Amino acid sequence: MRVRVAIIKRVSHADPLQELNWTEDTIARLHAEGFRKGGARLAIIELLGREPCCLTAMEIFDRLRGEGKRVGIASVYRVFDLLVEHRLAQRVDVGGGHVRYEPRHKSGEHHHHIVCDDCGSVEAFSDPKLERVLRQIEDNVGYTISGHEVVLHGECDDCKATTSPRQPSQHPTS
């Protein structure tokens, strides 16, 4: 599975300090809640903070091993569970039983994802119009929305180029 960052608006860390701030804030919050600065936890948080988009536990594991860090896959999952439980990271269900993780920023800055159903590539996008519509929905339903996740599915340009002419979508519309 590959990850590309693009689409409606290219997504990357808007502020070079944002990744550092998320990493430092996350470590400080966990320390304040009584968690020690474990080597595996620290390595996972630092790696996740450097990434512009979501990663799987296996991608984190492989990258850390590639950097010579001794981290077990079970530790990666435990750290992700901890980060999600403390609302420091979010799980992104991209379908097909695949879950990815990415930082949750205090500022609320975020992006959404488009997943190619053929090759599994994941692209990040942001769209101010979509955000306005979601705020309107909040006003219309009377809820205070604490967060949202948008994952779109389709076929990427690379896969479209290698397949026959596009067939009508098999996905139900709602």
Q: Model's pTM, two decimal places?
A: 0.71
Token pair recorded at residue 35 = 């968690």
**Domain 3-162 CATH assignment equals 3.30.870.10:** no
Structure tokens at 147: 């967060």
Q: pLDDT 10s per residue in the chain (174 long)?
A: 444 443 333 344 445 455 568 999 999 999 999 998 789 999 999 999 998 888 999 999 999 999 999 999 999 999 999 999 999 999 988 888 889 999 988 877 778 888 898 888 888 888 888 888 888 898 899 888 877 888 888 999 889 888 765 555 555 554
Nearest to 22, CA basis, from 99, 101, 76: 101
Q: Rounded to whole angstroms, how far apart are CA atoms 84 and 165?
A: 41
